[in-house]
Every structure is written in C-alpha cells, then in structure tokens.
Structure 1
Amino acid sequence: MPFTDSHHLYFPTAPWTGPRDNCIMILFPFHLHHPCTTSEMAGRVTVEAPINIAFIKYWGKRAGGERLILPTNDSFSITLSTAPFRSRTCVELCDDIEDDVLILNGELVNIQEAARIQSVLSHVRGTSLPELRNKRVRIVSENNFPTAAGMASSASGFCALAAALVRVFKSTANVSALARLGSGSACRSAFGGFVIWHKGEEEDGSDCVASQFVGESYWPEMQIMCAVLRGEKKEVSSTAGMQQSVKTSPLMAKRIAVVVPERMKIVSAAIKSRDFATFAEIAMAESDDLQEICATTVPKIVYATEMSYALIRLVKAYNARKGRTALAYTFDAGANCFFFVLRSDLPEVVTMLIEHFPTPLDKFFFSDQSLLEEVKSTTLASEYKTLIDYPKVPFEMLLQSPVGSGVRYLEETESFN
C-alpha cells in the first residue's frame, strides 16, 4: 500500500479547543455510536485522511468522463497535515444489518441515494474476496472542518472511505483510483507531499491515478495557511460549476491544450529546485485563471467574496513592498483563501494578516506551538501596516499546516472520536 504513518501531526493541546461553530463536534446517539478502530480480524478498519490543496487546478471532466471522473487536464497539489484538516472514517463489516449504513458528521444519511458512495461500494465489492462480497457495511465518518465551504472535505472523506473499504474487503482495487470515483481530488489525498493527478488517456480510467512527486520531507520550509472566511454551503457545487465551464467558457480549450501542460513543467522544476518565487507565481496565476473561467462561464459563477478579493490585493501589495514574492494565495471553488509561505517568513506574514484582519489569537490554530510564541514576539514594521484599504473584519479562523503525509490507519488503542 502506498501510504505512510510518518510525520503525523497533532495540535500541541488536545482535544480540539477551537470555536465550535467552525468545526464538527461529534456526539453520537448511543444506538448509532460504534467504537471504531482498526481490527482487521473483526472486519473493522478506521482511516484518517488529509485534505489537499491544488496549485494546478482540476476544473472539468473530459468528454465521456463524467461517470468515472476523468479530468480534462493533469493537476498538482500539496497534502496538508491532518492536525487542522482531516476526515476520519470507520468501516465495519456487519452481519446484523440488512442494508449499508452511513453516519456522516453525526447524522444518519440515506446511503441508497448517495450515488457516488454507491459507485465506490459497487467497485470495491466487485474486486473483493468472494466470501466478503455480500457483506453489509456500517460507515461512520466525520470531519474536523466546515463541510461544503471550500475546504475540500470530499477529498479527505472519499479518500478515507476508499482506503478503509479496500482494507476491510481485502480488495485488489487501487486506492487512489477508487477514491477518484467518489471525488476527483480525493485521489490526491492518498499520498503525502506534492502529488500529481494524471489525467490519463484510457477510456476506462485505468491510467487516471495520482502519484507522489516528492515526499512531505522534501521541502520542509513550505507552509500552508487557510483563512476561513465563512462556513456557509456554496451556492454552486464544484461538480456542477466545472461542467458548466467546460461547456461554455471560451478559456477552457487553450487552458487544456496549452496553459496547464506548460505550467506543469515550470512548477515541477520549481519544486525540485525549491524555487518558492516561481512556485508562488504559478499558484497565483492558476487561482486567477480559475476565477476568470468562472466569470466567463454561462451563467456566471462567483465563489469569491469581497473579502477574498481584498486578500488578493493584500498579498500583491505585501510582495510589492517586500521586493520579492514572499507570499502566495490560491482559491478553489469557495471563498476561503489558502496561502503558501516559507517558514522563515511565517511570523511576519501572520502578524501582517492580523494587522489587516484583526483576528483574536484564540482563532488561530498552529501545528507548531513555537510559531504562536514567535508571532506574539514579532513587531510588524510600519510599512506593512496599511497595505490596503479595507474594513478591519476578522477571519473566522486561521489555520497553519506544514506539508503533510497521506492516509493513516488508526490502531486499536486510538479513539475514534
């Protein structure tokens, strides 16, 4: 299996002490709760999977690729630590239930109407041991971050589900390919570090899988932050939005044929040489292109908010004042902003963000407690205090993560919730 347990990170203090309205607090009713840890002899597996953030974007499925989720172009992502962002899923084979059961974030879900979950289940059963094929499953899954709010919960969720199902059914399925059937970007969460999702050429999707480009320890200076701007559900899902863009945006054809292949080459070389400035410029150009494609889609799609655009202006102003590209932004199909920054610049960047968006420190969550102390002791130079004119409104949360590892299987001694 292409997974590792290394570099698994936790917050310095546990349990989670962040604002409850921005994270999922799981309180299972007694009749729904089932202690879930990994016990293959008992037919029970629990998996923790990270989210990933793409800097070369997946936006659209190729003709005939809707059912198997086959993209129009390659994409490139960074896997985040599971400390601030993760899905945890337990799958148990059961003899005492007539139908499959899914409990998602504490709510019983009608699994029969969840088409993509049914697709994943059907495929894994078709590749399982014959004696396990007709077993029913009880699935318990939860996220520790806002669902359907631009935080890629489907990526971590379907990756965790796929990894658990493959193990519990003793399936021959490729975990990355199986996860893709649930959510395209989920295939990238199977691996740590920097990950490429290959679009492939085969009609059956057999070559449409993700692979690790470099591991999580290759570029330890690279850091990721996420500014959570709102927790509401998106008006237009990424699934619906991207297919409308493929059909109607005049920018898609050149993007698929020319822009993405060229950027993949440039950013691959930048990662290999740890060239942050080039990496950052490509990431921001990709993010801007996605917004422009959405703007030229019919009907027009808008994911960003005024605060999102203010953050873009702030990053550009900061880099200009700095005299170098020290900070990068990227947005997916949502308002929340992800930042890329080197560890050496992180204390000043966080302090600069606080100056413009005055967020209490108890809304900041760091994988490294020493970073909080560095931020507290950092004095921001006056030239960075008024980079943009925008109301001083706080973030809901600001989270920081190093580059993370992929799927992790939990042991019997570890609690599910």
Structure 2
Amino acid sequence: MPSSSWPETVVTGVGVTSAIGQGQEAFLGALLNAESSFGVMQRPGRQKDSAFIGAEIAELRMPDAIDRKQLRRASLSAQVALATLGEAWQDAGLIDVDPIRIGLIVGGSNLQQRDMLLTREAYAEREKLLSPAYGVSFMDTDLCGFCSEQFGIRGLACTVGGASASGQLAVIQAIQAVQSEQVDVCIALGALTDLSHWEFQGLRNLGAMGSDRFAEQPELACRPFDRDRDGFIYGECCGVVVVESEASAQRRGAVPYARLAGWGVAMDANRQPDPSPEGEARAIRMALQRAGRAAIDIDYVNTHGTGAPLGDETELRAIQSCGLSHAYLNATKSIVGHGLSAAGAVEIVATLLQMKAGRLHPTKNLVDPIAPSLNWVRERSVASAIDTALTLSMGFGGINTALCLRSYS
C-alpha cells in the first residue's frame, strides 16, 4: 500500500552511542574517517579461555537530567539506553510534548546476558541474598521502565525482538504506532546487546562470528563483503530514532531529518540462521512499493553487511535482483561492528546523518570485494546528494526488513 494512504511520518530526532563515539558529531566524524576501535574485548564476563574480538564503549557521558541514584542499579544496556535517548530527546525538542502522546519501542531481546552472568556468579553460594531488583532487571521490559521513568513517557511502551533486525523493526513498529494515531511521537530504541563469553562462544561455534583469520590483527577482522571475511565482529552500540507525524512536527516547528517513506517486513518461514535472497528481496520490494518509488530512484543502500560468508553473498543477490546495482553501497558495521539488536537503529541513524552531510562513509577493509562491479564506497568517503535511501536489516529466524528514507523538502 503506498505511503499516501497513511499519515506521513518523519524523523525529528536521533541519538547514537558506539565504540567509535558518543553523539552525532563524534559518530559521523569517525564514520567518514573510517576510525574503528576493534580489539580483544576486556569487560568482565566477556572472556573465558578466549580472546574474542570486538569494539567496546570506552566512556559514557550521561545527560544531566538523569537521576544518578538510579544509575547504581542500571545495567550497561540500561545506562547506554538512557544516555542515547537523552540525546535524541533533546534533538527532537520533546520537553513540551504531552507525555501521554509519546510512545517507546525498545528493539531487542535477551539484552543483558553478561550482566546476568556476573550476578549469578557473584551470588552462586548465597542465592538467598540476591537483590530483589534482579526479579525485575532480568526482563527486557526493564529498559522500558528505566526510560519511561526518567523521561516521563506515558504513552505506549514495549519491546520487540527480531534478532539482528530488532532495531529496524522497532522503527517500523514506531511508524505504525504513529500512523494508527496511538501516539503523536514514538521513540524507537535499538538497545545495546550485552553478551557474555557463553553467547560469543555459541555464535563462534555456529560459524557466524569471526575472527580466527585475523586474531592477531583485530583492526583487520571486520570486513563485510570482502573475500577474506570470516564472520561478524561484535560492537557495542545503541541507536535512537524519534518518529513523529508530519502534522505534529509542523505544529511544533520541528525540522525533520527525512521522511519515512516506506518499509517492508518479510519472513522466510525458516528457523535456521541461513538467509534467503527471496525473502530479502521481498522486503525491499515492499518498502519500495509503500514508498511509491522505483529501484532506479534509490541513490544509496546502507547494507546489513555483517561479514558473514553466506550472509553477504545472499544480500548482494537480493540487491542485484531488485535492480539496485547502480546505487551507492557501504557497510556501517565495517567501522562500528555488529550491534546485533541495536544494529538496525544505529544504521538508520548513520544513513540520516550521511544524508544530512551529503557524504557517504567508506567501507573499511573492503580490499577485494566479492562483487567488484557494484557501486561501492571503499577506501574514502564520497560526496553525494542523497534524496532517497534504503537501509536493510536481517535477523536469525528468517526475519527480513527494509526501510526507505526520503530527504525532507
């Protein structure tokens, strides 16, 4: 169904926290200069007779308005969510919006595995003394509680799990909440997925996570679409996108980043982690149809691009089959790492910031592309006016999503 059949939705605020920088300016600057920060991960609970490579947030700045007492009982995922939402809240100017007309969708599930592991280890011999707060904090909805309490959100709030498509799925759910007039503003938050050595080992044994090949050279390990890729490389991150009806934005005098022109969600009917080019292509075509756009209208595709051997090839087959070979392509994960539940939201933020800047970031470590004829942004950033962009996210369990963004004018 074309987007004209529904109320127009726009993005009026964004926030981002990642290992390459916190806040829009630092994040975009690092992206354009391809400044990654991969290394052997150091957080407690991340290693056990292992040396898993990833990118960890070095320092976190909290907004002044956040209650510091609450932070003492907040997990890493909750702290990063509050900091990132604070930036987006201020960016969108939500202070005067009726809190009953603001909603929150948290993208992600099983978000706090490392925190739970550390708690269980600390109380292994004294379970009876376990803090009552654990009875709440092990649930993903605790992030809804932290965020809604600190920012006074009184509209709808829930979590949505779509594996690595969770962040983008949260944005799509936020669009639907605004279009159905449940709220005027809906905040989509791709939450930081805080994993322990258990999850990393499982993902490594699955063949999804690298890197054996670059164990001694972490800066070279994350290389989506390169022939030497050997799996995704984890990266801590969180992205927030403020979705609003165009009518609400106009009433408030908010200046949108872009129009949320169309979206698609398609399932593969497959529990396994192997991707499907048909499912991915179907999501892309649904997004284009809803946006009322043809493939030739797409200037840029922000790929899912994880570095998984089969996943990258499958995604390129879908892109080519949809007639998008002409569009610029890059992979944000090559610099940021794979944020899992957060990835889709972070990549939407990356797309919006690139559109605003008129410049596309490089794809780091793309030395020998598996499809060299495509229109890659490789070693250096490229100046380009982007009117219409697609951003793609896929998740285990056969979940495929696509979102079409159009410049606001």
TM-score normalised over the length of structure 2: 0.30
Higher-Rg member (1/2): 1
TM-score normalised over the length of structure 1: 0.30
